[in-house]
Chain A
């Protein structure tokens, strides 16, 4: 059974803070994703990694960066958190190519 975990379920940060969100998968998946989920806007892709140290920008990369130093771990970094980054953040992984994505439980981030 595929397991995707995220470092926190809930996080409260202050404007200007540097924020790290971590995602770990245990199925040796090549591809990993970070999404942002807001009501009425669906799932919007922030960044995508198709292999270790490889990344591609998604639809809304501004204000975010990512790191993938090991295959199982994909980190999302908010360099300087702002209130408009208050949202639910979902990580996902998949084997590679057109196949099922497995999602983590999500991190609800509030920036005050």
Chain B
């Protein structure tokens, strides 16, 4: 089955810096890669996703890049703000029933 590795497990940055979280996946048939943000005590919510026919997608300060050859995808957050502090999860989905496989999460801390 699919295996998703996520790094780093913890990331601490100063407000205004950029943050990058990386995920690798094992199943070359995976074709949908969402990112979820979970604030403390709240439910995970989708912040951005990318499909395998696209190499990059941006939404304001957030971007995701996908390298199908190397089987990795990354979340980029620019100009970080304290409200970006949360746990971020990546996931990969492949054909059939499209069951998501999640990474273990990255705790992002943005210091004011």
Q: Which residues in A have some Cβ–Cβ distance to B below 8 Å?
A: 40-45, 48, 50, 56, 58, 90, 97-101, 103-106
Contact = CB atoms under 8 A, between A and B. Distances in A.
B88 to A, nearest CB: 11
Given A42-B89, A42-B104, A103 B99 contact: no
B99 A56 contact: yes
A58 B2 CA distance: 12
Contacts, number: 47
B99 A100 contact: no
B104 A106 contact: no
Interface of B: 6, 9, 31-32, 34, 36, 42-46, 49, 51, 89, 93, 97-100, 102-105
Nearest to A6: B43
A101 B99 CA distance: 11
Given A58-B99, A100-B34, A105 B104 contact: no
Given A48-B99, A56-B97, A97-B98, A90 B44 contact: yes
Nearest to A91: B43
A54 to B, nearest CB: 10
Contacts of B34: 100-101
Contacts of A106: 43
Contact of B31 (A41, A44, A98): A98
Contacts of B36: 101, 103
5 contacts: A40-B9, A42-B102, A43-B89, A48-B99, A104-B43
